[in-house]
């Protein structure tokens, strides 16, 4: 393994640990969480999900984009496991018959 690669992994691990520990210590030191901070923290999961899903939706081809739209529509009515199974079947069929 290359030393630059190893140092990059170690630096990433240290940065992750520092931000998680720092955030915990910051919140723990507050007697109450200000409403604006609480609103910002509540928005983080949606922002992370968007940051993970949006590039795939835009750049990974018609099969992925169509499957995400189908999963969204199924997910509005069905439980998560059903949505995952039907979306999985859809993308396999789409790739087999149309791509």
Q: Which residue has the higher pLDDT, 23 or 15?
A: 15
The percent of residues in the chain predicted with pLDDT above 70, rounded, is 98
Q: Summarize the confidence of residues 66-80 as an average pLDDT.
A: 93
pLDDT at 38: 87
**30 DSSP assignment:** -
pLDDT at 99: 63
Give start and end residues of each alpha helix (H) in the chain: 3-29, 35-59, 62-75, 80-97
């Amino acid at each position: 393994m290359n030393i630059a690669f190893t140092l990059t992994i170690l630096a990433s691990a240290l940065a992750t640990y520092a931000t998680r520990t720092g955030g915990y210590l910051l919140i723990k030191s507050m007697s109450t969480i200000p409403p604006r901070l609480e609103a910002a923290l509540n928005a983080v999961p949606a922002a992370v999900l968007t940051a993970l899903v949006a590039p795939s939706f835009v750049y990974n081809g018609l099969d992925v984009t169509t499957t995400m739209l189908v999963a969204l529509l199924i997910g509005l009515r069905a439980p998560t496991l059903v949505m995952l199974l039907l979306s999985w079947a859809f993308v396999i069929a789409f790739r087999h018959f149309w791509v």
